[in-house]
Chains A and B, each alone.
Chain A
Amino acid sequence: MEFLSDLQAQFSTAYELLAAGWGVQLLWGIAWTLAVTVVSMLIGAVLGSLVAAAKLSHRGGLRFIGESYTTVFRGEPELLVIYLFYYGGTQVLTGVARSTGSIGSTDILNMPSFLGGVLAVGIISGAYQAEVFRGSFLAIHRGELEAARAYGMSAWLRFRLVIVPQVLRLAVPGLGNVWQLTIKDSALISVTGVAELMLTANKAARSTHHSLLFYTVAGILYLVMTSISTPIFEKAERYTSRSFTRPK
């Protein structure tokens, strides 16, 4: 049983290493991962609803923009989008700062890594959320919108009282999926240097030479995050559809 003794040797040091400070670091990593995910989801929600509106628009131009957005950002590797915003942002910022003379002609103005990462992940998340919102809107019963119009509701009132509550109710399961995707995408922004869970695990693995331990712990923590969110979204689903439950 060479394997078992090996495993035991690997994991006997686990407690020591985690107690020696890496445990706290990993908890901070979780906090950053959640921060990245939440901010990205919010950016994605704003972009997603705008893009969904564009895709549902009667104007061909807007529809084309919406279609292109969802096709491009769901079709590109996430890593590429993240590099584009991080390094591309640096390129733009440096160019602007050099031309205004606020930095020297050989200096570089770096894109803040959190901002770059969150923008990239948020835009990807927005592409998926747009599809969720669009599907939910299409699932609203036409008669409800007609009835609202027949009552003489203004466009804003219709949006606030009829469309939003129903889209939210129908979108919750889809948003749950996007949330899971976004948590997993947030691991990729470790490449830009945001000290989220993945990067913390990386640092720990490199400096202690216990990669197996730290990547396993990171994997378990991601599993905890994704599985905790399932009941939360189920609760949200029950809450948003509380007026739609039918007696069995």
Chain B
Amino acid sequence: MDLDFYLSTMWSVLKALPLTLEIWFFGIAFGLIIATGLTWLRASGYRLGEYFTRAYVFIFRGSPLLVQLYLIYFGLSQFDFVRHSPILWPILRDPMYCTIVAMALNTAAYESEIFRGALRAVPVGQIEAAKAFGMSAFTRFRLVTLPIALRLALPAYSTEIILMTKATALASVVTIMEMMGTAQKIQHDTFRPIEVLTCAGVIYLLLNLSIARLFAWVEYRLSPHLRPPPEQSQQIKPVPEVL
């Protein structure tokens, strides 16, 4: 056991954590925006919108993220109009932006399905009650449908976020030196893959466990009405005399 080596590897990989988190955050943020649009398109009732979202979900869920990433990074630059575009080219020539775009497009497909399921799972009675109260469509959505649907979507959404953390590692294949890329470099330099990858693995695992814990906490906070009531005896438990 070479503790110094483990510690220095751990430290080098940790220094790449901000970059991993950056890819992760922007991928998720843009993914959420696209997913919201897709869900709206799907729920709007337009036939064309439904076909589009169905095709979108089919394509992005049915093929590996790696293919999508390569297609965006290597494939799109073949178009002359992409290379000559002042807006597209600065985005698509940068591997970092390409990873974020690929992740966002990919996760949006999964998330839009999660949101669609959550919207459908909102009890009809709640919406009917809101209608009976005379709420406008917007108020109904804001005060009844949305809060219930968000709460219902949370468990599946947290799984998707963890999948996204794992997906950030793919950035290393397009030369980004995030945690996986850094670990790869150290591994090539030292030829000690098991030690290096174990260090990186521990960090990824801790990251994912804390994300899972965070979501569990949010879920707990958002569902006070589902918790069993506290025991009467516990509430009036006397203070122990001997402290």
**Alpha-carbon separation in the docked complex, A188 to B204 (Å):** 18
B91 at the interface (CB under 8 A from A): no
**Alpha-carbon separation in the docked complex, A151 to B62 (Å):** 47
Residue contacts A-B, CB under 8 angstroms, 27 given = A6-B79, A10-B78, A75-B205, A76-B201, A77-B204, A78-B169, A79-B170, A79-B173, A80-B197, A80-B204, A84-B198, A87-B197, A91-B191, A91-B194, A92-B194, A187-B67, A188-B66, A202-B70, A211-B70, A212-B74, A212-B78, A215-B71, A216-B75, A219-B59, A219-B71, A223-B63, A226-B63
B187 and A212 within 8 A (CB): no
**Alpha-carbon separation in the docked complex, A210 to B200 (Å):** 35
B221 at the interface (CB under 8 A from A): no
Q: If the complex has contacts A6-B80, A202-B70, are A219 and B63 also in contact, measured as CB distance less than 8 A?
A: yes
Q: If the complex has contacts A198-B66, A216-B75, are A72 and B205 also in contact, measured as CB distance less than 8 A?
A: yes
B74 and A88 within 8 A (CB): no
List of A residues within 8 angstroms of B197 by Cβ: 80, 83-84, 87-88
**Alpha-carbon separation in the docked complex, A185 to B65 (Å):** 9
B76 at the interface (CB under 8 A from A): yes
**Alpha-carbon separation in the docked complex, A24 to B172 (Å):** 30
Question: Chain B interface mostly helix, strand, loop or mixed?
Answer: helix
List of B residues within 8 angstroms of A119 by Cβ: none
- Kindly identify, within residues 173 to 195 of chain B, every residue whose CB is under 8 Å from any CB belonging to chain A: 173, 180, 183-184, 187, 191-194
**Alpha-carbon separation in the docked complex, A147 to B70 (Å):** 56
Interface core residue of A76, A84, A211, A215 (most chain B CB under 10 Å): A215
Question: Chain A interface mostly helix, strand, loop or mixed?
Answer: helix
Q: If the complex has contacts A84-B194, A187-B66, are A215 and B75 also in contact, measured as CB distance less than 8 A?
A: yes
List of B residues within 8 angstroms of A88 by Cβ: 193-194, 197
- Report the minimum CB–CB distance from B145 to chain A (whole Å): 28
A3 at the interface (CB under 8 A from B): yes
B168 at the interface (CB under 8 A from A): yes
- Report the minimum CB–CB distance from B208 to chain A (whole Å): 4
**Alpha-carbon separation in the docked complex, A205 to B69 (Å):** 14
A2 at the interface (CB under 8 A from B): yes
A184 at the interface (CB under 8 A from B): yes
Tell me the nearest residue of chain A to B71, going by C-beta. Answer: A215
Interface core residue of B64, B167, B180 (most chain A CB under 10 Å): B64
Tell me the nearest residue of chain B to A86, going by C-beta. Answer: B193
**Alpha-carbon separation in the docked complex, A102 to B53 (Å):** 58
- Report the minimum CB–CB distance from A119 to chain B (whole Å): 14
Q: If the complex has contacts A88-B193, A219-B67, are A80 and B200 also in contact, measured as CB distance less than 8 A?
A: yes
B193 and A90 within 8 A (CB): yes
A218 at the interface (CB under 8 A from B): yes
B65 and A215 within 8 A (CB): no
Q: If the complex has contacts A75-B204, A78-B166, A80-B201, are A187 and B64 also in contact, measured as CB distance less than 8 A?
A: yes
A227 at the interface (CB under 8 A from B): yes
B162 at the interface (CB under 8 A from A): yes
A222 at the interface (CB under 8 A from B): yes
A184 and B64 within 8 A (CB): yes
B209 at the interface (CB under 8 A from A): yes
Tell me the nearest residue of chain A to B191, going by C-beta. Answer: A91
**Alpha-carbon separation in the docked complex, A212 to B184 (Å):** 27
B5 at the interface (CB under 8 A from A): no
- Kindly identify, within residues 164 to 200 of chain A, every residue whose CB is under 8 Å from any CB belonging to chain B: 180, 183-185, 187-188, 190-191, 198
B11 at the interface (CB under 8 A from A): no
List of B residues within 8 angstroms of A223 by Cβ: 58-59, 62-63
- Kindly identify, within residues 201 to 226 of chain A, every residue whose CB is under 8 Å from any CB belonging to chain B: 201-202, 205, 210-212, 215-216, 218-219, 222-223, 226
